[in-house]
């Protein structure tokens, strides 16, 4: 009877199939997707940019305040769009991560259920080795089908996403640069007001005012230095995401 | 991306205004720190009157606000017209979700195979009562496809 030999072959095949696992490229895709929280720095600085007015307001003259109010109306109007830029990229990166997921294609649990389900039926004439061979075959088939599907689905997504992701990252980088420059002017308005008014404070009569003004000067200087560092971090984060994205997109096999 | 040459011009103009404001500020601070003429007895007295300093600083602020208005215009141009790209990414994400769902259905197929085998085993053992549950599972799995 040839059946035992067939089962032997199936078992061997199943054993080999069991060795297959997620490719290094899928691991790289997952690594890229895991960087999506890095876009939070962009989001944080967008919020800071959109909240410029109340920070600046106490340091403005009445005329400057009126001009800043008008500017803020236009700023708030644009901020809706600025906030949306990262949402598409974040959603894309997360979907890519799920699609390239290690567990996503792991049918091990189902295969185990399959074997144990059958073992629950004694006296059927089905021997353990038959069951194992069947499970092995199912494992092999499901691996073959889904691994291939995984690779091609991830490739499709990378290929179709390459240009829009690039465009959005470019725009985010430009916006960060413009926020940063705008922040420089904000800083110079706030610190400049203190710097030009402090020399006129009578140190004898207004000791408290002078102390408060100098203390405010110190804390504002520290605040703007920290924000400067956040801009550097946000820019580096965007660069890192762009580099990994380019590297992945460069590895996509040509569509058949 | 549709890059706007206008955006670069606007940004360059704003950079110039910011630089002018910086220069103005440096002049202003020099004037304030220079001791007022004819008052060597009070070296801490600012070199210009407070009203003059405030008026000059007001000019500096106005320049910076004008520059920030232009940076905002440049930013709006940079973000404009990206609606299609955003939409495309959201559609791609939705399609990826569909594929993720398809893969879940393949997992269901493996479950169905298990159900079938269980039915077969029940039949082989000639125990019809043991076939009922696997058949119900099978029905549920097929309906879920």
**Is A88 an 8 Å CB contact of chain B?**
yes
Q: How confident is the model at residue B126 (pLDDT cuts 50, 70, 90)?
A: low
pLDDT of residue A236: 95
Print burial letters for B119-145: b (CB count within 10 Å at least 16), e (below 16): bbbbeebeeeebbeebeebbeebeeee
Contact by Cβ (8 Å): B2, B48? no
Q: Is residue A163 domain-resident?
A: yes
- At residue B8, does pLDDT exceed 60? yes
ipTM over the 0.90 cut-off: no
Would A157 be classed as within a structural domain?
A: yes
B7 pLDDT exceeds 50? Answer: yes
Instruction: Please indicate, yes or no, if residue A255 is contained in any of the structural domains.
Output: no
Q: Is A152 domain-assigned?
A: yes
- Closest residue in B to A135 (Cα–Cα): B114
Report pLDDT for A249: 86
pLDDT value for B110: 66
Residue-level pLDDT at A175: 94
Q: What's the gap in Å between the CA of B84 and the closest CA on chain A?
A: 8
Q: Is the predicted pLDDT of residue A9 greater than 50, yes or no?
A: no
pLDDT of residue A65: 97
Q: Are the Cβ atoms of B93 and A91 closer than 8 angstroms?
A: yes
What is the residue-averaged pLDDT of chain B? 80
In this prediction the pTM is 0.75
- Tens digits of residue pLDDT in A99-130: 887 665 555 666 666 666 555 555 555 566 66
The CA-atom distances, in angstroms, between B22 and each of A30, A190, B67, B138 are 47, 13, 12, 77
In a domain, A145, yes or no: yes
Q: What is the pLDDT of residue A114?
A: 60
Confidence check: pLDDT of A5 > 60: no
Query: Which residues in chain A (142-201) have CB-CB distances under 8 A to chain B?
Result: 142, 145-146, 149-150, 153, 157, 160-161, 163-168, 170-171, 174-175, 178-179, 181-182, 184-186, 188-189, 192-193, 195-196, 199-200
pLDDT at A128: 65
pLDDT digits (tens, 9 = 90+) for A139-158: 666 666 667 777 888 888 88
Report pLDDT digits (tens) over A85-104.
Answer: 888 888 889 888 888 876 65
pLDDT digits (tens, 9 = 90+) for A170-229: 999 999 999 999 999 999 999 999 999 999 999 999 999 999 999 999 999 999 999 999
Q: Is residue A233 part of a domain?
A: yes
Q: Supply the pLDDT for residue A207.
A: 95
Give the residue extent of every domain in chain B. 5-81, 86-144
Between A99 and B10, name the one with better pLDDT. B10
For position A73, what pLDDT does the model report?
96
pLDDT band at A11 (very low <50, low <70, confident <90, very high): very low
Check CB contact under 8 Å for B125 and A105.
no
A117 touches chain B (CB under 8 A): yes
Range B95-120 average pLDDT: 70
Taking chain A, what is the end-to-end CA distance rounded to the nearest angstrom? 43
From the CA atom positions of chain A, what is the Rg in Å? 31
Q: Which of A131-140, B47-56, B74-83 has the lowest mean pLDDT?
A: A131-140
Confidence of residue B18 (pLDDT cuts 50, 70, 90): very high
> What is the domain count for chain A?
1
Q: pLDDT, tens digit, for every residue of A54-86?
A: 999 999 999 999 999 999 999 999 998 898 888
Would you call A67 and B72 a contact, using CB atoms and an 8 Å cutoff?
no
Instruction: Decide if pLDDT at A19 tops 50.
Output: no
Say what the pLDDT of residue A8 is: 46
A51: containing domain: 3-250
How high is the pLDDT of residue A6?
47
């Amino acid at each position: 009877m040839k059946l035992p030999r067939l089962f032997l072959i199936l078992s061997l095949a199943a054993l080999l199939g069991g060795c297959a696992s997620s490719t290094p490229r899928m691991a790289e895709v997952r690594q890229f997707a895991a960087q999506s929280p890095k876009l939070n720095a962009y989001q944080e600085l967008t919020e800071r940019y959109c909240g410029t007015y109340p920070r600046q307001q106490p340091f403005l003259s009445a005329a400057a305040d009126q001009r800043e109010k008008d500017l803020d109306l236009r700023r708030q109007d644009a901020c809706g769009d600025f906030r949306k830029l990262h949402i598409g990229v974040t959603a894309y990166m997360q979907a890519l991560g799920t699609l390239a997921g290690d567990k996503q294609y792991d049918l091990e649990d189902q295969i185990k259920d399959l074997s144990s389900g059958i073992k629950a039926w004694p006296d059927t004439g089905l021997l353990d080795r038959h069951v194992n061979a069947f499970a092995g075959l199912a494992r092999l088939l499901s691996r073959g089908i889904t691994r291939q599907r995984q690779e091609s689905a991830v490739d499709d997504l990378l290929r179709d996403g390459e240009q829009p992701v690039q465009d959005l990252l470019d725009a985010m980088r430009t916006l960060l640069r413009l926020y940063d420059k705008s922040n420089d002017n904000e800083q110079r308005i706030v610190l400049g007001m203190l710097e030009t008014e402090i020399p006129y404070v009578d140190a004898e009569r207004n000791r408290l005012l002078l102390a408060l003004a100098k203390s405010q000067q110190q804390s504002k200087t520290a605040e703007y230095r920290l924000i400067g560092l956040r801009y550097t971090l946000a820019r580096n984060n965007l660069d890192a995401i762009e580099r990994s994205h380019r590297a992945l997109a460069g590895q996509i096999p040509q569509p058949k | 991306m549709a890059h706007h040459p206008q955006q670069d011009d606007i940004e360059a103009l704003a950079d110039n205004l910011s630089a002018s404001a910086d220069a103005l500020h440096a002049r202003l601070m020099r004037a304030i720190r220079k001791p007022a003429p004819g008052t060597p007895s009070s070296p801490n007295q600012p070199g210009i009157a407070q009203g003059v300093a405030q008026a000059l600083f007001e000019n500096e602020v106005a320049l910076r606000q004008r520059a920030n208005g232009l940076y905002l215009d440049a930013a709006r141009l940079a973000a404009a017209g990206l609606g299609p790209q955003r939409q495309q990414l959201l559609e791609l994400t939705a399609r990826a979700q569909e594929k993720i769902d398809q893969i879940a259905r393949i997992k269901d197929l493996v479950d169905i195979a298990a159900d079938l085998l269980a039915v077969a085993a029940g039949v082989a053992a000639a125990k019809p009562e043991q076939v009922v549950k696997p058949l119900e599972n099978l029905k549920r799995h097929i309906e879920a496809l």
